[in-house]
Every structure is written in structure tokens, then in C-alpha cells.
């Protein structure tokens, strides 16, 4: 999210993150970023009052179909914490994201209460489920996105237009699959002619370096990928012709939309968790550009990244 919003023109004045490996990644790639390694539940945001944007990826297990969907009864539900921070900071706009399961009927009351609270704080609120594949990412990955704006900016906001992915999994990963000398990389790439299913990153409590549960692995199998685990390196010259290759963390990162220059810190499982749990940068950038245009009170058709200088606090 931070990378995508940076590409949309926002200057990250603070990034709150509890995971030490994720903090190390942020610092390694952006030494100038103000990375605050702490639990948001104990973070005092008073020093960030009046920023242009408050953005956050709220933990998904309370609303994920892969979990028990306990919602407000799950101690990992951080929407109340986000609302407390928003009340203190009084940003001009808000961007929150979660799993598409949050759009389910069973959470309609929770969504309504969340919208009412934001409205009481002086915001217009809207939400949408966006597919990453509609914003240039060769992966399905639907995400629930909430935006909130002060009323004077609302006439200038439009949800980003669709820009469908132009690459299949094979086209996206061919060079990475071939860099170890695998002779069948070209044939594999031709067979992997669809977009990827949603990458599943797991958590510290559950999930390792694999591509998800049985249903997800079946979808990967159709693309010629062994999703049982991740590889430490791409296939070599002696890779068996009748064996499906596994993805490396770097391959997963590219499918998520990270540039190859983005360094991932920590061991394989920790690095993959960061990739699999991320909001694809291209999706964050698309929504960020829409918000930046609204904050600049410009017609969306005339937006210009170069003309914007905005500040954001991300958690």
C-alpha cells in the first residue's frame, strides 16, 4: 500500500507496522521513510494531525472465509483502533482495505456501523470490491476498499477505471523461470496462459510458504505450478520434464506487482508472508490517484502526479 500510494504522489510521513521483518523491508527499500515499529493499539497518533490521508490494511482474519468470521468478536479486529486514530488525526481522507468477505451480508450491520461512525466524524463514505486483475495485476485478488472524504472533496472523487492485466502468469514469469537454465521454461509459459488465483500469505499463527489451501493449489495446478510449497531457486537445467515447478518468493512478488528491485527481508516464510498479505501496489496506486485527484480538487481527467504533493500516514 505504501509503495502504491507513493507512486500516486503521496509522501509517507509515518508507517506503523508491528512485524520486524516487514519493518526491515520498508527500511531497506526506503531509508527515508519514517517506519514506526510498534503495535497500532498502543500508538499515539497525535503528532500526525491534519495529514491528507490515513491509510490502513486492517487484519483480515475476522472477516476471511478461510477463518471463523467472528467479526467484532475477534480480538484481531482493528477497525475500532483505526476509527480512534482517525478521530484523533482528523485526516482529509481515509483508505482502508480488507478481504472481500467483509462485503458479505453477515457483516452488513458492521459495515453500516462503521460508515455511521465515519459520517459522524465528518466524512462521506463509499466502498467497493476491486479485483487486482482489473488494475494491471496478473492475479485475481479481490479486495474490499473503503474510502472516506471530507464533503468538499467528494465531487472530485471517482473510483479508478479498469485497466485489465495484459500478461498471463506465463508471460509474467517466463524470464524468472528460465534464469536457472530450465529448458522447458518456454513450453511451461505457453501453458500458464491465465491469471493467477489469489496469493495466500498466511499469518504467524497459521500458514507457511505455500500457495494456500486445496482449492487454491488446484487452480495453480491448472497453470502448471506446484503450490504445495515455494522454491528457494528457479528450476535448473536438470529439472525433470514431468514435474511442475514451484514459485520462488521473487516470482510471487512479481505476480503481486512489486518491482524486481524491491528487497524482501527475513527468511523465506517471512518474506513470502509480506508478499502474500500485501495490497498490490498497482491497486493502491489506482485508488491513491483517485484520492489525490479529489484532494487537489481537480477533474479526474486532468490529474497529474507531478503536480501533487500530499502527505499520508499508513498503518
Reported as a single tens digit per residue, the pLDDT across 168-187 is: 999 999 999 999 999 999 99
**CA 266 from centre of chain:** 19
Q: Does residue 71 register a pLDDT over 80?
A: no
Q: Are strands 10-17 and 35-37 parallel, antiparallel or unpaired?
A: parallel
Q: Mean pLDDT across the stretch 135-153?
A: 95
Domain ranges of the chain: 2-164+279-314, 169-275
Which three-class secondary structure state does DSSP give residue 98?
Answer: strand
Question: Which pLDDT tens digit goes with each residue over 189-220?
Answer: 999 999 999 998 765 655 566 787 788 889 99
Fold of 2-164+279-314: Rossmann fold (3.40.50)
Please state the rounded mean pLDDT for residues 17-26: 96
241 class by beta-carbon count within 10 Å (0-12 exposed, 13-18 middle, 19+ buried): exposed
Cell numbers standing for residue 128: 467497493
Measured between alpha carbons, how far is 225 from 129 in angstroms, rounded to an integer? 27
What pLDDT does 309 receive?
A: 47
* Nearest of 80, 45, 42 to residue 59 by alpha carbon: 80
Distance of CA 279 to the CA centre of its chain: 0
The answer to whether 14 touches 38, Cβ cutoff 8 Å, is: no
pLDDT at 69: 43
As a whole number of angstroms, the distance between CA 15 and CA 53 comes to 12
Q: What does the alpha-carbon distance between residue 14 and residue 233 come to, in Å, rounded to a whole number?
A: 34
Q: What mean pLDDT value characterizes the chain? A: 88
| DSSP H or E segment with residue 12 | strand 10-17
Instruction: Write out the catalytic residue numbers.
Output: 60
Q: How many residues does the chain have?
A: 315
Least confident range of 69-73, 95-99, 237-241? 69-73
The answer on pLDDT for 135 being more than 70 is yes
**Distance, CA of 296 to CA of 144 (rounded, Å):** 25
Q: Given a cut of 90, is residue 241 above it in pLDDT?
A: no
Amino acid at each position: 500500500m505504501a509503495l502504491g500510494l507513493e507512486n500516486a504522489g503521496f509522501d509517507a510521513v509515518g508507517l506503523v507496522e508491528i512485524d520486524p521483518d516487514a519493518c526491515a523491508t520498508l527500511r531497506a527499500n526506503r531509508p527515508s521513510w519514517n517506519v514506526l515499529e510498534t503495535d497500532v493499539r498502543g500508538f499515539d497518533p497525535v503528532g500526525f494531525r491534519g495529514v491528507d490521508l490515513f491509510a490502513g490494511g486492517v487484519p483480515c482474519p475476522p472477516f476471511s472465509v478461510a477463518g471463523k468470521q467472528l467479526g467484532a468478536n475477534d480480538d484481531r479486529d482493528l477497525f475500532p483502533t483505526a476509527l480512534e486514530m482517525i478521530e484523533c488525526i482528523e485526516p482529509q481522507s481515509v483508505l482502508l482495505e480488507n478481504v472481500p468477505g467483509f462485503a458479505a451480508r453477515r457483516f452488513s450491520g458492521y459495515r453500516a456501523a462503521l460508515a455511521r461512525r465515519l459520517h459522524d466524524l465528518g466524512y462521506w463514505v463509499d466502498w467497493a470490491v476491486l479485483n487486482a486483475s482489473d488494475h494491471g495485476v496478473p492475479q485475481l485478488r479481490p479486495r474490499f476498499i473503503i474510502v472516506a472524504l471530507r464533503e468538499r472533496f467528494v465531487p472530485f472523487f471517482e473510483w479508478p477505471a479498469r485497466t485489465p492485466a495484459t500478461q498471463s502468469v506465463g508471460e509474467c514469469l517466463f524470464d524468472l523461470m528460465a534464469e536457472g537454465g530450465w529448458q522447458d521454461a518456454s513450453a511451461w509459459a505457453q501453458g500458464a496462459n491465465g491469471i493467477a488465483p489469489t496469493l495466500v500469505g498466511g499469518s504467524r499463527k497459521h500458514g507457511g510458504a505455500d500457495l494456500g489451501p486445496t482449492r487454491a493449489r488446484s487452480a495453480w495446478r491448472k497453470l502448471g505450478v506446484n503450490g504445495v510449497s515455494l522454491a528457494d531457486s528457479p528450476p535448473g537445467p536438470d529439472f525433470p520434464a514431468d514435474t511442475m515447478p514451484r514459485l520462488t518468493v521473487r516470482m510471487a512478488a512479481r505476480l503481486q506487482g512489486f518491482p524486481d528491485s524491491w528487497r524482501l527481508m527475513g527468511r523465506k516464510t517471512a518474506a513470502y508472508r509480506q508478499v502474500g498479505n500485501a495490497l498490490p501496489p498497482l491497486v493502491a496506486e489506482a485508488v491513491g490517484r483517485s484520492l489525490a485527484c479529489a484532494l487537489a480538487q481537480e477533474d479526474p481527467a486532468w490529474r497529474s502526479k507531478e503536480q501533487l504533493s500530499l502527505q499520508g500516514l499508513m498503518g
